[in-house]
Structure 1
Amino acid sequence: MTAARGFAAFPPQRAGARFATSWWGLAWVKAMEDTSLDQGLLRKGRAYAKTGQVGPITVSPGRIAAVTESEYDTVVRVEQLTDAAWERFLDQVAAKSGHIAALLDRDMPHDLVEAAEDAAVPLLPAVGDLEPECSCPDWGHPCKHAAALCYQVSWLLDADPFVLLLMRGRGEQELLEALQGRQAPKRPAAAAAAGVPAVEALAAGVPALPEPPPVEVAFAPPVLDPAPGVDVAALGVLIASAAWRAREVLLHGRLPELSEYQDRVRLAADHDLDLGLEAAVRAWRYGGAHGLEVLEHAWTPPRQDLARSQALLEAGWEGEQPPPLQAWRNRWTLGPLQLRYGRDGRWYPFTRIEGEWWPAGPPERDPAALVSG
């Protein structure tokens, strides 16, 4: 049976500290938050998690557990994968050597999770997949103690995706041993028994080394001679851009669809072109097409997204009064700082320069992290 893993209690965190930063940790938090029907309990759960109200955490197949607020037994149950599902997952991991290397480097590749989903193996939890239990009298689902436990577990998942796999039923050592068995080369039984006599092996000599692999040469734009009516520098930029796009298609199979204007901004951002698009270029460098959209267009996000962000912002000031907020559609203004909510679920910071709002940094999913920074 897979052994449980214990983790020391997290100390109190600074105001504005973020929870999940990895994409799989964010998926864990989203599954818990989307299940909740009470934003107030989530807000209290974040405060409990940040102020150290959760004791040491035990992670074992199908459950995470801790004593919260020094007296309540809190458990969150996660459905374990079946043996057949584990076999399909191991097939996906073994199919690509980079998957094993990524997991050992404490990374969870997007394509591995997608391949597992295609094989009907759900690694990441969805809405309703987490079942909280707590000895407290609160009837919330989850209560503030279970929410605090889930928020702290997102830190564990950030540091080690094997924690997620353990919750699904198997630990790191067990998985690595299973993968090693799959990768071991198989020889016919007769050949394994007979072997090769040492005299014959020595007589064969040292075989020649194979040819070295081809060297990948970075693309270099051709040297173009000046010609009447031709902007040679601009033509070189276009050639470099076309080569980059071709390389992306070969590596990833597709490119994002960009309008003519978006592509012009991308070119200016990638090649330091002076096209009079300074604010747009800065927005693109911070957030790509999403960053450009929040610079130029306002929209009305879903109410639940704004409510969740409001709770995150308030949780960043435990015991303190948050700064006054002026809200209009997807734009929140807090004095000299403005936060704009993008369709990608992230908040983009803006600062006022000579009466206009300019992109001020990379986006965050937690607006409190931008304000505190």
Structure 2
Amino acid sequence: MNAARGFPAFPPQRAGARFATSWWGRAWIQAMEDTSLDHGLLRKGRAYAKTGQVGPITVSPGRIAAVTESEYDTVVRVEQLTDAAWQRFLDQVAAKAGHIAALLDRDMPHDLVEAAEGASVPLLPAVGDLEPECSCPDWGHPCKHAAALCYQVSWLLDADPFVLLLMRGRGERELIEALQQRDAPAHVPARAQAAGMPAAAAFAMGVPPLPEPPPYDVVFTPPALEPDPGVDVAALGILAASAADRARELLLRGRLPELTEHQDHVRLAAGHDLPGGRADGLGAAVQAWRYGGADGLEALETPWTPPRQALARAQTLLEAGWEGERPPAVESWRNRWTLGSVQLRYGRDGRWYPFTDRDGEWWPAGTPERDPSALAAP
């Protein structure tokens, strides 16, 4: 039996405060916003969330609830997973030691969610999966109160992905106990070890515990290499350090993005001092990579035309961030919005990347945000 978890009310936030920063928190907001047909109600919901109009939040299997504006009972229901679906999810978690470590570190690996989806276990909500209910007279779906509750829940999800799993039906303690039971194989008698045993009995033993993952905070030091004719020792050391970085990323995330030759060159220049002027001309590209990786580099180099719905939502967020004041005039072209000395570029990852004018050229100016008002509002 899962006990509900209670969370204290969030205090009023600053005008430019952003909502979800984790990718799973952003997916939660995306599911809610894509369901809405009224951007005005979403704007009001964001304002309610930021100004502390939502009371303490209770999360339990299948629902989140709060009292909003001190009088309305607001609930958002989430479909719970079946017992069979939970077993398939546990299979995916137990299949890789890094998944367990990531969850305990309050992280939700991309490949775990993808593997779960491949096993027909939807962890993240999609359009239509969130069912809002509110005692207010508003007919919106969601109303501004349910939208405010969902926006604040994204903060809870950022801090602890087990909140999402609890909504889907299982609490943290129950999940950990189930995983520990899977890691404890039954005792095998010595006679059975010597003489062999039926395959069915062997498979019934379960999966033996995996070794602990290697430490991720070890700094790699390239070996000292003696100069040799025809061998660029400095470049070789950089390649060794780069390989160690990529191996650490693979251990942490379970996968590596495919990079073009240009992207990999920029990645190397961003993380290492390339010898012989090999980073010449890459200043803006290196800065973009340091702020946003491959997505940040694409925002710098490649204009594209986003869906109208995404731009309309961003316009709503921008107006809401100015809290009643008129936002500055926006000069828009494809995925690029220019507001005076600041330019915002919408990336294919759903985030806005800030740029500033430097001698007539736009240079990356900071980390991306999902909410453009967090980058443009005063």
What is the percentage of aligned positions where both structures have the same residue? 77
- SS of 1:84 mapped into structure 2: helix
1:7-156 to 2 correspondences below 5 Å: 7-156=7-156
Q: Does residue 228 of structure 2 align to residue 225 of structure 1?
A: yes
Q: What is the identity, as a one-letter code, of the residue corresponding to 1:335?
A: G
Q: What is the identity, as a one-letter code, of the residue corresponding to 1:300?
A: T
The Cα shift of 1:130 comes to 0.5
Q: Tell me the distance in 2 between the aligned counterparts of 1:371 and 1:278.
A: 24
CA RMSD of aligned residues (A): 3.0
Q: Tell me the distance in 1 between the aligned counterparts of 2:80 and 2:360.
A: 55
Contact 2:222 2:241 in 1 (8 A): no
The Cα shift of 1:65 comes to 1.1
Contact 1:241 1:267 in 2 (8 A): no
Q: Which residue of 2 aligns with 1:367?
A: 372
Q: Which residue of 2 aligns with 1:316?
A: 321
Q: Tell me the distance in 1 between the aligned counterparts of 2:268 and 2:7.
A: 48
Q: Tell me the distance in 2 between the aligned counterparts of 1:162 and 1:239.
A: 38
Q: Which residue of 1 aligns with 2:205?
A: none
Q: Does residue 342 of structure 2 align to residue 337 of structure 1?
A: yes
- SS of 1:350 mapped into structure 2: strand
* Structure 1: unaligned runs, 5 residues or longer: 192-213
- SS of 1:53 mapped into structure 2: coil
Pair 1:19–1:62, CA change in 2 (3 A): same
Q: Tell me the distance in 1 between the aligned counterparts of 2:250 and 2:155.
A: 36
Q: Which residue of 1 aligns with 2:211?
A: none
For residues 158-184 of structure 1, the C-alpha deviation after alignment (integer angstroms, 9 at most, x for no partner) is 111111111111112222222222223
Q: Tell me the distance in 2 between the aligned counterparts of 1:349 and 1:169.
A: 39
Pair 1:350–1:145, CA change in 2 (3 A): same
Q: Tell me the distance in 2 between the aligned counterparts of 1:74 and 1:246.
A: 45
The Cα shift of 1:245 comes to 9.4
**Structure 2 counterpart of 1:297, from 279, 297, 302:** 302
For residues 228-268 of structure 1, the C-alpha deviation after alignment (integer angstroms, 9 at most, x for no partner) is xx8x477547854885699589866765131x444443343
Q: What is the identity, as a one-letter code, of the residue corresponding to 2:272?
A: H
For residues 322-362 of structure 1, the C-alpha deviation after alignment (integer angstroms, 9 at most, x for no partner) is 23322222111122211111222221111111222111122
Contact 1:94 1:100 in 2 (8 A): yes
Q: Tell me the distance in 1 between the aligned counterparts of 2:69 and 2:372.
A: 27
Q: Tell me the distance in 2 between the aligned counterparts of 1:250 and 1:81.
A: 29
Larger radius of gyration: 1
- SS of 2:125 mapped into structure 1: coil
- SS of 1:114 mapped into structure 2: helix
- SS of 1:52 mapped into structure 2: coil
Moved more, 298-307 or 310-319: 310-319
Q: What is the identity, as a one-letter code, of the residue corresponding to 1:318?
A: E
Q: Tell me the distance in 2 between the aligned counterparts of 1:151 and 1:10.
A: 11
Pair 1:21–1:240, CA change in 2 (3 A): same
Q: Which residue of 2 aligns with 1:256?
A: 258
Contact 2:62 2:169 in 1 (8 A): yes
- SS of 1:327 mapped into structure 2: strand
Moved more, 37-46 or 1-10: 1-10
Q: Does residue 166 of structure 2 align to residue 166 of structure 1?
A: yes
* Structure 2: unaligned runs, 5 residues or longer: 192-213
For residues 64-114 of structure 1, the C-alpha deviation after alignment (integer angstroms, 9 at most, x for no partner) is 111111222111110001111111112222233332232222222222222
Q: Tell me the distance in 1 between the aligned counterparts of 2:24 and 2:250.
A: 27
Q: What is the identity, as a one-letter code, of the residue corresponding to 1:276?
A: G
Contact 1:269 1:284 in 2 (8 A): yes
Q: Which residue of 2 aligns with 1:199?
A: none
Q: What is the identity, as a one-letter code, of the residue corresponding to 1:20?
A: A
Moved more, 175-184 or 122-131: 175-184
Q: Tell me the distance in 1 between the aligned counterparts of 2:106 and 2:246.
A: 31
TM-score, normalising length: structure 1: 0.83
Contact 2:242 2:268 in 1 (8 A): no
- SS of 1:178 mapped into structure 2: helix
